[in-house]
Structure 1
Amino acid sequence: MIGALLQVHSIAGLALALLWAVVGLTGATMSFEDEIQASLNRDLTHVDASAAQRLSPDELVARVEAAGDFGKVSAVTMPADPTAAVRIRFTRSEGGAQPSSVYADPYNGHVLGSPRGEDFFATVRKLHRWLLLPGDGNGYGRTITGTAAICLILMLMSGMVLRWPHRATSVKVWLKPNLSLRGRGLHRSLHAVIGTWVLPVYLVITLTGLTYSFEWYKDGAKWLLARPSPSAAPMQPKAPRGVAGARTDIADAAKPFGFDRVWATFLREQGDRYARALLTLPAGAGTVVRVRSWPRGGSLDTARDEFRIDAATGRLVSADLYDDKSFGERILASVLDIHRGAILGWPGKLAFMLAAALMPLFAATGLLLHLSRRRHRRVAAPPVGHLVPGE
């Protein structure tokens, strides 16, 4: 039984080792992305506070679009800090490429430049989530990484069974590698003991990461942790045919809309309690803009409020406040911060980064152990035949 489990563990590990190493290294690279980008772009994100009033979102967008051929604006990040620049993002091109965002001065709309490192981290993120395969989140790369995560959970469980020591209550046996060994013994000790160290982290990473790979898993987590949600906010009713006002409503909906009415409604709801707000235009048809708001002094990226506001009328469609969430709903909202260890502050991010960066170690030691077992079997195997007596 143990021999068969070892064989399956070894073969599956060798088959998926490279994929796990890529996902682990890319995850480690993104662990301190926010801090790295903040350091690289310190000169772009800071502006001199002015006595003049800051431009409205629509005025900012108009000046940025007039300054260069950036494409259509898709989102605007408005900071509360008077010395912080506004960040503007653009829609994908016809070929599917994502243009670089730009920072702009909130007082005069002057374009300060594109953030350094943005394209690099965008590529790393695509490699981590979808292996740079076609279709991005709608392609089969998402399924491959999700399946690999499930296999990693099974590998962790089988690894624990295979290394269960005779002295199970000895902390030293479980957690201290024997560095006095050489060759196969050292490889086995490193593979097993360090695997025990990182096992809790890998379980957290895989169990949270699956929410980004499989809708059935995400729906199951919502069913388990979230309260039954009330019926969704009603859509704007369509005008019946033949009604005189129908053509007027359609014409109003067809008019271009922007962020100013949304911004006015958001400020009425939030006041000065926000640190920054991200206004995102709808990807398709419609006039409802999503506004994500992060509170002052907040340390977690996922601890935020979310509003949906009709840009054509300024009507608040829905408000999802973080303080109103249940414990389970806060867990669901914080999946990304849990996934990368940020829920524990910078020590947690550092621990998760190191654990992810160690993934190639298991690929290397696993391969060396496999090759060692093969050599051992060849040496120990009896000869296939023997000479006939007298020959």
Structure 2
Amino acid sequence: MSGPTIKSALLQVHSIAGLVLALLLCLIALTGVIMSFEDEIVDHLNAAIVQVAPRTTAALLPDELVSRLKAVPDAGKVAAIMLSSDPSAAVHVRFARDEQGGRPSSVYVDPYDGHVLGVPRGEEFFTTVRRLHRWLLIPGDAKGWGRQITGVAALGLIVMFISGLVLRWPRRASSAKMWLKPNLALSGRGLHRSLHAVIGTWVLPIYLVMTLTGLWYSFDWYKDGVVWLLARPHVAAAKMQPKQPRPSGRVEPAQPVGFDRAWSTLLREESGGFARAQLMLPAGLGTVMRIRSWPKDSTLESVRDEFRIDAATGQVISAERYADKTLGEKVIASVLDIHRGAVLGFPGKLAFMIAAALMPLFAITGVFLYLSRRKLQRPAPPTLGRLVPGE
């Protein structure tokens, strides 16, 4: 197959994939833009309820907080609490889903007397945006078809990366100007092609990182492959174990599972060296509680220790400390922070947000290029000669 034939075939593949996926990719990208600085926005909106005045009295233990919260009308079943070593930080309480599958809004609680400070603003909005970004609001969320659809869109985007890179490969490939400088003196089709190709080159590395990390959330085979490649064998074997199905219905354990013993064990294990910790009650009949602990010297979501602690006995079942992970295992733990550019700090998050916001530009210029190419390929109407009377 000759070079022009290969390029013609790649152009068809690139165009068809772009036309089919344009709207979906724009939706995924723009919802990602909205979530880029979610933490900062939510903290700003709720500045009045996430902090309390420090007091000389000791903060209430978690079980006492939950007990006082139960007296609040319409309070749901507590599923997790976020505690902090900062004496001025409020306690963040999340609730379990109800019989209809809905989840009540979380609340912030005063750690010293247990009274509710308020419901966080923006939480429901960002939850909806996140479900749209990941699962397109298709019923079933992570168990529905939305997860696979976004994964197929990501695979299609990789096809567009490869075909687009081959199609735009300049004759002077060593010239940075040819790769990185758009020709703004052009107009019409020439300008559209320059913007589409050059700005695409700028954002290609970011899009590639976004796509490769986004596939982690869409396909189990991809996730298992990454774990097998980057983690130590015994860690990979543990992570690739199939999840046990949750029991149907809401079956309560014989005795209520509390937080206090697990909380005491965490304080002993971490020796006060954490900034905040999230304690999550078991979803089923077990008593093993999952606990995440973030150190004081990091703002990244991925830099955390994880424990499994028996809430009934306080025994540590497992401890997964971030400092003990290999480089590959730290990459696995940081998939979300890599996906959103947070591993590079504020500049990284800003760069990833701008790159995602440029996705509609590729959709628009790509459609214009396709329509203009179709117009050029359309055969010209035959010219009618002067007719002689009688012919």
Question: Considering the TM-score relative to the shorter chain, is it more than 0.5?
Answer: yes
| Structure 1 residue matching 2:60: 3-state secondary structure | coil
Q: Establish whether residue 25 from structure 1 lines up as the match of residue 37 from structure 2.
A: no
Aligned to 1:191: 196
277-286 or 287-296, which deviates more: 277-286
CA distance in 1, matches of 2:233, 2:387: 81
Residue 262 of structure 1 deviates from its aligned partner by: 0.7
CA distance in 2, matches of 1:98, 1:198: 38
Normalised TM-score (structure 1): 0.92
CA distance in 1, matches of 2:359, 2:331: 26
135-144 or 96-105, which deviates more: 96-105
Normalised TM-score (structure 2): 0.92
Does the Cα contact within 8 Å between 1:253 and 1:312 map onto a contact in 2?
no
CA distance in 1, matches of 2:97, 2:308: 22
Change (3 A) 1:114 1:387: farther
Q: Residue type of the partner of 1:111?
A: V
1:75-94 alignment, distance < 5 Å: 75-94=80-99
Aligned to 2:323: 323
* Aligned partner (choices 106, 111, 114) of residue 106 of structure 1: 111
Q: Residue type of the partner of 2:341?
A: G
1:372-387 alignment, distance < 5 Å: 372-378=372-378, 380-381=379-380, 383=382
CA distance in 2, matches of 1:22, 1:297: 35
1:150-165 alignment, distance < 5 Å: 150-165=155-170
CA distance in 1, matches of 2:281, 2:384: 77
| Structure 2 residue matching 1:208: 3-state secondary structure | helix
Identity of aligned residues (%): 64
Aligned to 2:286: 286
Residue 98 of structure 1 deviates from its aligned partner by: 2.1
Residue 168 of structure 1 deviates from its aligned partner by: 1.1
CA distance in 2, matches of 1:318, 1:169: 53
* Aligned partner (choices 71, 78, 81) of residue 73 of structure 1: 78
CA distance in 1, matches of 2:212, 2:193: 26
* Residues 170-204 of structure 1: per-residue CA shift (max 9 Å, x gap): 11111011111111111111111010000000000
25-34 or 91-100, which deviates more: 91-100
Q: Residue type of the partner of 2:290?
A: R
1:115-264 alignment, distance < 5 Å: 115-229=120-234, 254-264=254-264
CA distance in 2, matches of 1:63, 1:327: 44
Residue 5 of structure 1 deviates from its aligned partner by: 1.4
| Structure 2 residue matching 1:87: 3-state secondary structure | strand
Q: Establish whether residue 9 from structure 1 lines up as the match of residue 7 from structure 2.
A: no
* Aligned partner (choices 39, 47, 72) of residue 44 of structure 2: 39
Change (3 A) 1:384 1:218: farther
Does the Cα contact within 8 Å between 2:253 and 2:285 map onto a contact in 1?
no
Residue 267 of structure 1 deviates from its aligned partner by: 0.7
| Structure 2 residue matching 1:42: 3-state secondary structure | coil
Residue 66 of structure 1 deviates from its aligned partner by: 1.0
Q: Residue type of the partner of 2:54?
A: A
CA distance in 2, matches of 1:373, 1:10: 11
* Residues 353-389 of structure 1: per-residue CA shift (max 9 Å, x gap): 00011111111111111111122222x4464999999
Residue 271 of structure 1 deviates from its aligned partner by: 1.6
CA distance in 1, matches of 2:386, 2:64: 94
Residue 261 of structure 1 deviates from its aligned partner by: 0.8
* Residues 332-355 of structure 1: per-residue CA shift (max 9 Å, x gap): 001111010000001000000000
Q: Residue type of the partner of 1:43?
A: A
Does the Cα contact within 8 Å between 2:257 and 2:281 map onto a contact in 1?
no
CA distance in 1, matches of 2:386, 2:101: 70
Which structure 1 residue ranges, 5 or more long, are not aligned?
234-251
Q: Residue type of the partner of 2:213?
A: T
Q: CA RMSD in A?
A: 1.9
Q: Residue type of the partner of 1:110?
A: H
Change (3 A) 1:266 1:387: farther
Residue 285 of structure 1 deviates from its aligned partner by: 2.0
Aligned length: 372
Aligned to 1:302: 302
Aligned to 2:362: 362
Q: Residue type of the partner of 2:209?
A: V
CA distance in 1, matches of 2:147, 2:110: 38
| Structure 2 residue matching 1:254: 3-state secondary structure | coil
CA distance in 2, matches of 1:137, 1:38: 27
Does the Cα contact within 8 Å between 1:146 and 1:214 map onto a contact in 2?
yes
CA distance in 2, matches of 1:103, 1:211: 32
Change (3 A) 1:386 1:305: farther
| Structure 1 residue matching 2:233: 3-state secondary structure | coil
CA distance in 1, matches of 2:185, 2:217: 42
